Amino acid sequence: MDPVQNANVLLCITGGIAAFKSVSLLRLLVKAGARVRVVMTEAATHFVAPMTFEALSGSPVCKDLFHSGGAGGESHIALTEWAGIIVVAPATADTLAKAALGLAPDLLGCLLLAARCPVVMAPAMHTAMYLHPATGANLETLESRGVHLVPVGEGDLATGHGPGRMAEPEEILEAVRGVLSPRDFEGVRLLVTAGPTREPIDPVRHLTNRSSGKMGYAVARAARDRGAQVILVSGPVSLPPPPGVVVERVMTAREMHDAVHARYEEIDVAIMAAAVADYAPRDVSSSKLKKSSTPLTLALDPTPDILASLGRRRLDAGSERPFLVGFAMETEALEARARDKLERKGCDLIVANDISVPGVGFESDTNRVAILSAGGGIERLPLMSKYEVAARLLDLVAAGLGIEGGRGRDARR
C-alpha cells in the first residue's frame, strides 16, 4: 500500500511566496489518500487565502494558538497527537530559525515543540537568505535533530535566480513517502530496468516502442523508500532521475544486457520492467539512408533476452540469487501467457499487464496487473497507481526473500 494512504498529515504553511505551491501539495496528498489538516501562520494567510486550503482539505484551517481547530477549538497537543507526520512547506528562514531555537510564539512553534511524529521541512527563501551562515547553521541543527529536509531547488525566485526555491510538490510528496515507508529492504541490493530501448537504423532513425519508463521508475522509488540500494538501468525516457538511486543510462538492448550482467554478482533482486526491443537492425548505416522510390526492407536480428539470460546464469550457478521478477505485456490470454513466460525465463515472479485495458500500461500513471509466482500463486490487483503496484510487488519480493514484514512509522493514528 502507498504509505501516504490513510496517513494523518499536518500540513503547515508559512509566509513565503512558495505557499501557492502548497495548494498542489495538498491536492497530491489528498489524491494519495492522506487525511490532511492544514495549519497556517499569520504571514502565510497573506499569500494564499485559508479558504482555498479549507475547501481542498475538507477541514477548517488551524491558525490561532488559542483556537487551533474549527468551531469548538482544538488544543495544539490534540493536533500533535492526531498527526502521523508534520510537513512544513514552505519553511521560511524565520520558521527555520525559530524551530532551531525551539521558540514557540505561535501555533506552529508549539506544534513543532510538542510533536513526537516525524517532521519534514521544505525550505524556501531568497538566495541570499538561504546562503547566509545563520540559515545554514539552523538547517544543520534541525537535521541533527532528525528533521527531514527536502533540498531546495535552484532557479527563478520571486526576485533573482539561485538556490532557495522550494522543492516541487511532487518531490515533497516523495520525501513524505520515504519517511513513512517501512525500511524492510535495508541492505538489499536491487536492480531495476526501465523504459524502452532504442535500436539505431542510421544516425537519425531508430526502432523503439511506447514505453514511458513510469513503471520501472516507480519500482525504483518504492524500493529506495523501503531502504534498498537501487540501481536503475534506464533506456531513454523523459523522467527525472529519482534522487537516492544510482541511474545507468543505456540506449540499446545490447547495452542494457551488458549493464545488467556487469552488476550480476552484486545484486540480490532484479526487476525487469523495461520494454526491451526484441529485434534490432542488422546493419546500422553510418550515414543517413536516402529516400528512393523502391521499397526498403530492413533485416532485423533478435536482441539478447536479458531476463532469460539472467535466469540461465542463475540456474548454471545453482544459486537462488538474484531473485528474478519479469513483466509480461500481453493483449490476449494474459495469465496463461504470463505463466508461460515466467517458466520459460526462469523467474520467481511475473507481473502481467493487459495493455489493451484503458488506464493500463505504457504512458499511464495507473496500472492493473496480476502478479504470478513460480509456486503457482496469483494475486490480481485492482487499478492503482504505479507506485502502489510497485509497493505491492515489493511486498511479494520481501516474502520471497524471507524478509521480515517490516513495519514503517505508522502514520495512521
Q: Please choose, out of 78-86, 145-153, 285-293, 324-332, the segment that lies near ligand CTP by the rule CB under 6 A.
A: 324-332
**Is 63 or 341 the residue whose CB approaches ligand CTP more closely?**
341
Minimum CB–partner distance for residue 303 and ligand CTP (Å): 5
**Window 177-216: residues binding ligand CTP (CB under 6 A):** 193
Q: Cell triple for residue 173?
A: 510528496
Q: Which of residues 257-316 bind ligand CTP (CB under 6 A)?
A: 272, 274, 276, 278, 303, 305-307
Binding to ligand CTP in span 230-259, by CB under 6 A: 253
* Nearer to ligand CTP (CB atom), residue 253 or residue 371: 253
Return the residues of window 330-359 that contact ligand CTP according to CB under 6 A. Answer: 341
- What is the DSSP pairing of strand 189-194 with strand 161-165? unpaired
**SS3 per-residue string spanning the chain:** CCCCCCCEEEEEECCCCCHHHHHHHHHHHHHCCCEEEEEECCHHHHCCCHHHHHHHHCCCCECCCCCCCCCCCCCHHHHHHHCCEEEEEEECHHHHHHHHHCCCCCHHHHHHHHCCCCEEEEECCCHHHHHCHHHHHHHHHHHHCCCEECCCEEEECCCCEEEEECCCHHHHHHHHHHHHCCCCCCCCEEEEEECECCEEEECCEEECCCCCCHHHHHHHHHHHHCCCEEEEEECCCCCCCCCCCEEEECCCHHHHHHHHHHCHHHCCEEEECCECCCEEECCCCCCCCCCCCCCCCCCEEECCCHHHHHHHHHHHHCCCCCEEEEEEEECCCHHHHHHHHHHHHCCCEEEEEECCCCCCCCCCCEECEEEEECCCCEEECCCEEHHHHHHHHHHHHHHHHCCCCCCCCCCCC
**CB of residue 321 vs ligand CTP: minimum separation in angstroms?**
18
161 phi/psi in degrees, rounded to 5: -145, 135
Nearer to ligand CTP, 34 or 347 (CB): 347
Task: Name the catalytic one among 6, 8, 209, 353.
Answer: 209
List the one residue from 213, 326, 346, 400 that touches ligand CTP (CB under 6 A). Answer: 326
Q: Which stretch binds ligand CTP (CB under 6 A): 63-71, 322-330, 365-373, 388-396?
A: 322-330
Q: CB of 276: closest distance to ligand CTP in angstroms?
A: 4
Q: Is 323 in the site for ligand CTP (CB under 6 A)?
A: no
Q: How far is the CB of 394 from ligand CTP (least distance, A)?
A: 16
Q: Does 361 contact ligand CTP by CB under 6 A? A: no
Between 124 and 275, whose beta carbon lies closer to ligand CTP?
A: 275
Segment interacting with ligand CTP, rule: CB under 6 A, options 26-34, 138-146, 147-155, 321-329: 321-329
Instruction: Provide, rounded to whole angstroms, the least separation between the CB of residue 226 and ligand CTP.
Output: 21
Q: Using CB positions, name the residue nearest to ligand CTP.
A: 306
Shortest reach from residue 282's CB to ligand CTP, in Å: 16
Residue 353 annotated among the catalytic residues of the structure: no
How many residues at the interface with ligand CTP, by CB under 6 A? 15
Position 19 contacts ligand CTP (CB under 6 A): no
Residues that bind ligand CTP (CB under 6 A): 193, 253, 272, 274, 276, 278, 303, 305-307, 326-329, 341
Q: Which residues are catalytic?
A: 209
